[in-house]
Structure 1
């Protein structure tokens, strides 16, 4: 993210320098000496540059104080951009004037001060100033038309990165022999290794390791497949999975369930199994919530877009249970505690003494030889002794039987839960699927004390959308406060602030044109835009104020300021947009994460040219005329 911040900031850090240098160049052309022109230019533009940079920082600095996943993901990015902006402000106010004051202005043939573009812009602006309400109405219509783009169902938490990681979970019937499971897994391995896109396959079977704990499970296996880099294959990870599902099905593995999915972003886990779709059933009775989970699966099994649908209680292990006949056991002088203690000693042993060898003490453990407890029948025939030293076989007072039990018991807020999870297909989005699921489950009634709620990526998406909306409102408020302090009035800050919402028109155009889903980087880009789009408006309004202070009438001051600021506004916007192109085009590994951010800022800034050059002057004139009337 640090390098991503540098990539984003490449075009932004030159903005202050461009504005300062352009103003210095213009004043040097009419000054007696370069130093005199530089001093006048610096005094004229310093407040605007400071205000523009401060508003940028005010919009994004709140991100540095956010906790949770969003703060963890983007804190380095925001810190890098903030540091770059501060450095660019210092350079623009010190180094640039110092160097520019020693150089004479060069009259370039490419100067656009009196070019056709400037004349055309001046002509258009003069006519638009005659119809302020019409201009404002047109922009408002565009804003209204862009709203559906932000309310659509195409929303995801983070962009889908094609890292080429695929997870396979193979599940057989409980009790399958390890050798049989091994044969099945080898068949799948051989099939995978025949594919040209596969770089490596890592298989784990016979059990799992979680931290320091080990679990022996013969009927489950997992395979982690790493595909070659995306530049070396013609298929995306999702397309490759679709192809392999068909090939695995052709193996005809009876009694075997194989779930295949693309792995999530490395290091980010939003649910128990990394699936995007997740619901949780919560209650006290494990049997009841298991039945409810099966009922939920029946309701949503055929929802389009859901893949690998399952619930956590499906994973069953076989345990050997000893069911004691309490009446008979008590009649023969045994309690359940006695039986449990004696069986524990038989199987695990008990330290009865120790053996001293030199200076070492070695425990002596007494237990049955392992070869005498090979199966349940051996356990049934063991002899237990009561208080009267009467020997009784275990099967006379208890039954030894295999029983199915959940492989794990999950809890949330101290209550048992079952998680229902699935993957979302590549042609669907999580909000769209959730809408259908909610409709299907509307008729499902739950007993008292049992709840069904969203979790995983859906929960994270909702929480972080609320957070980003708060941050966006806070960013706009802080931008307004900074400008109000800078101008010591509300007139100019309101004009500048009015330009912020309309850049969403450009963002909406980018979203619809590229069919890009809304994700957290898009919302981050919107927050950054709130601080960036006011830069041009601040410089333009500052110049209008200077022209009016010089004695020009209102409309003439606006047109003159527009002509003077056309070149720096075009240059600063274009340099920033061009600097975003590598990220927007997703060049290089890892650029996919920041691509939506770059696209959002790029389209928003591009449209902000129209907002800054046309809407802001019109709004300034309209508000100034209203103020003069009252």
Structure 2
């Protein structure tokens, strides 16, 4: 039923829909379990299987409906989320919703029919004396546990004001003390057995030198990891040529001084990738001090959740003046280097790329019979190829196929600025004219690339986080940026933006938190309408603090963080707890309407429902 419903809604079978079905499996059994247990209870009042099934089904129909609606209610807020959170949780909510609705319908129709068929027995087989029944009950372990539980509930009911106060204080204390120690992440960290390493040699390094550095880095990795533990080594040095286009999402490099390595470890090697990264950082810094290294996400979840950022932490300084952007980003880098949990902190762009400045002397050029346009075209032809100026094709007279003809100076020939000055320049005279005759050639520096966002230049700072959860790391990073702004060290023309995994993490978890609160409110209003009593509704919802406290303790004791997965589990746990509370409160209310006092109804409702719960 859930698969058909997902198909009708245009959804697919994916990680989130399968997760929703996995969450719903246990609850799907609960619907039938509650009904079958109540059918067995009815055998104490009638020997007719059909009558017992009808009574058991009728008594649990409304409580099971409310329980189902409570579980559905905790997922309704996902439809009001925005961005990536909505795309993730709507499929999961639909999968759970369709499964729960189908479970209720089947437990109210199909399960009773099957019960009549399987439980059919003769009236004589069902007849037992009260003494035999009492003897069998006394031998039942479940009956013994229910009796002990009933005695405990009686004691608690006697001191109910004190119990409520202690309960609220204990849950609040656990949530406040233990919950504040939990970290925040988007998804739990997963060791996928591979890592990706970006190498950046000094700006302007020749590609052959970069290749040698890359091979040396691979040797270091083999030494530290062990060659027998490496499954695959994949690397790319330099930029992607224009003749081999590739989406920059998958492969991006800034120049010939950059290389990208991807290392896959053998399955079962027993090597922790996070620990290996720390070892490689220290070893590479010692052997190759001039080479900057940065580890990038290798698993699909981290890549997607970074939303295009190369690392989980990316800080962008944006403004109309590149000099102001640079000054601020350097100050921010100096301050962020003091944070012990940041690794691979570096400016993403090349700000001091080596250049050769060609300053044309227009007076000499005019006297020599040439122009700035002719000089620049000659420089382009000499440093790259004539095909960028005038495409020249030679048709083969035999085949008629045209071939492109181009002239270029071999790169090994042009090594120094003096060689650049020997480039011939087009002019109107007869004597050979060289570039050095009409221009001054000198070394210089300039940004290797210009990044713009909304027509404003920006410089970015990237970093990884080690030994600290993303939530606390983001708080400390924001504190540094706010301190720089308040101290006046950030120019007014510069705006900063924190990118990477932090913005989606905050958006998703805040949306889930608000959704959880709204779900509890919706359930409270729904129960109030059903019970026509605020006190009964409050008693049902009062299970939420205990569930949250239990979730917090479980996460803290197992070293886990608050993330999307654990939040989904917490939401489902709250829904299940309220569904169980509804069963107990409903049967207790039925006993009260039958004439029991409030105390007796509470004790009897708890004792009669503890086994199915």
Which category of TM-score, normalised to the shorter sequence, fits these structures?
Answer: 0.7 to 0.9
Partners of 2:437 and 2:104 lie apart in 1 by: 88
Distance of aligned partners of 1:515 and 1:541 in 2 relative to their CA distance in 1, 3 Å threshold = same
Superposition deviation, residue 228 in structure 1: 2.3
Q: Counterpart of 2:12?
A: none
Q: Counterpart of 1:619?
A: none
Whether the aligned pair in 1 keeps the contact of 2:391 and 2:404 (CA below 8 Å) is yes
Q: Counterpart of 2:218?
A: 189
Partners of 2:443 and 2:593 lie apart in 1 by: 93
Q: Counterpart of 1:202?
A: 234
Q: Counterpart of 1:286?
A: 322
Q: Counterpart of 2:290?
A: 255
Distance of aligned partners of 1:372 and 1:296 in 2 relative to their CA distance in 1, 3 Å threshold = closer
Whether the aligned pair in 1 keeps the contact of 2:203 and 2:354 (CA below 8 Å) is yes
Superposition deviation, residue 330 in structure 1: 6.0
Partners of 1:247 and 1:381 lie apart in 2 by: 44
What is the aligned length? 564
Q: Counterpart of 1:9?
A: 24
Question: Helix, strand or coil for the counterpart of 1:13?
Answer: helix
Superposition deviation, residue 98 in structure 1: 0.8
TM-score by length of 2: 0.82
Structure 1 residue 139 and structure 2 residue 180: aligned? no
Question: Helix, strand or coil for the counterpart of 1:218?
Answer: coil
Whether the aligned pair in 1 keeps the contact of 2:297 and 2:310 (CA below 8 Å) is no
Partners of 1:50 and 1:86 lie apart in 2 by: 9
Whether the aligned pair in 1 keeps the contact of 2:368 and 2:429 (CA below 8 Å) is no
Superposition deviation, residue 389 in structure 1: 8.9
Structure 2 counterparts to residues 471-620 of structure 1, below 5 A: 471-487=515-531, 490-569=534-613
Q: Counterpart of 1:125?
A: 153
- Pick one of 67, 70, 76 that aligns with 2:85: 70
Question: Helix, strand or coil for the counterpart of 2:238?
Answer: strand
Unaligned runs of 5+ in 2: 1-14, 127-132
Q: Counterpart of 2:60?
A: 45
Partners of 1:65 and 1:384 lie apart in 2 by: 67
Distance of aligned partners of 1:96 and 1:472 in 2 relative to their CA distance in 1, 3 Å threshold = same
- Pick one of 40, 45, 70 that aligns with 1:30: 45
Whether the aligned pair in 1 keeps the contact of 2:172 and 2:545 (CA below 8 Å) is no
Superposition deviation, residue 224 in structure 1: 0.6
> In the TM superposition, what whole-angstrom CA distance separates every residue of 1:452-494 from its partner, at most 9, and x where no partner exists?
3322122222222321222112222332343344445545333
TM-score by length of 1: 0.80
Question: Helix, strand or coil for the counterpart of 1:500?
Answer: helix
Question: Helix, strand or coil for the counterpart of 1:86?
Answer: helix
Superposition deviation, residue 548 in structure 1: 1.9
Whether the aligned pair in 2 keeps the contact of 1:290 and 1:418 (CA below 8 Å) is yes
Partners of 2:398 and 2:142 lie apart in 1 by: 103
> In the TM superposition, what whole-angstrom CA distance separates every residue of 1:563-607 from its partner, at most 9, and x where no partner exists?
1111111xxxxxxxxxxxxxxxxxxxxxxxxxxxxxxxxxxxxxx
Distance of aligned partners of 1:125 and 1:287 in 2 relative to their CA distance in 1, 3 Å threshold = same
Partners of 1:118 and 1:19 lie apart in 2 by: 16
Structure 1 residue 167 and structure 2 residue 196: aligned? yes
Whether the aligned pair in 2 keeps the contact of 1:28 and 1:38 (CA below 8 Å) is no
* CA-based RMSD: 3.4
Q: Counterpart of 1:617?
A: none
Structure 2 counterparts to residues 203-352 of structure 1, below 5 A: 203-208=235-240, 211=246, 217-229=255-267, 232-248=268-284, 252-253=287-288, 255-260=290-295, 263-266=298-301, 267-270=303-306, 272-314=308-350, 317-326=353-362, 329=365, 336-337=372-373, 339-341=375-377, 343-344=379-380, 347=386, 348-351=388-391
Partners of 2:355 and 2:71 lie apart in 1 by: 62
Q: Counterpart of 2:4?
A: none
Partners of 2:340 and 2:253 lie apart in 1 by: 35
Unaligned runs of 5+ in 1: 570-630
Whether the aligned pair in 2 keeps the contact of 1:372 and 1:378 (CA below 8 Å) is no
Question: Helix, strand or coil for the counterpart of 1:478?
Answer: helix
Partners of 1:356 and 1:485 lie apart in 2 by: 89
Partners of 1:312 and 1:473 lie apart in 2 by: 41
> In the TM superposition, what whole-angstrom CA distance separates every residue of 1:146-187 from its partner, at most 9, and x where no partner exists?
223333462222211010121222222233343333333222
Whether the aligned pair in 1 keeps the contact of 2:314 and 2:500 (CA below 8 Å) is yes
Distance of aligned partners of 1:561 and 1:112 in 2 relative to their CA distance in 1, 3 Å threshold = farther
